[in-house]
Amino acid sequence: MAELQSLLLFVNYDNQRSERIVLPRNNPFDDYDEKKFRERFRLSKFAVMKLLDEVRRRTLYNALTTLHYTFTTTAPCLQSKK
């Protein structure tokens, strides 16, 4: 019932935005021991941490590469002349 009430807070029939309610989130690394974590996610905590590290690394690399490409193609006057 509480979930339904929370959902209804977002519905406003006048097409106006309602105040957003942010609920606290759980951290599965803290909430589950290694056995329960593996049962729920089918991966060990260590494997998930390694996967998250790799995703963060690749995301940062892609963001930096995109930023470099955007800078070099949109601001050629700022590049050093050879």
Whether this prediction's pTM lies above 0.85 is answered by no
What pLDDT score was predicted for residue 63? 79
Q: pLDDT tens digits, residue range 8-40?
A: 555 555 567 778 888 899 999 999 999 999 999
45 near 29, Cβ under 8 Å?
Answer: yes
Residue 35 to residue 33: CA distance in whole angstroms? 6
Read off the DSSP letter of residue 24: -
Which residues are CB-neighbours of 1 under 8 A, at least 6 positions away?
none
Query: In this structure, what is the dihedral angle of CA atoms 23, 24, 25, 26, given to the nearest 10 degrees?
Result: -140
Q: What is the DSSP letter of 79?
A: S
Question: What's the pLDDT band for 80 if we cut at 50, 70, 90?
Answer: low
The reported pLDDT for the residue numbered 21 is 87
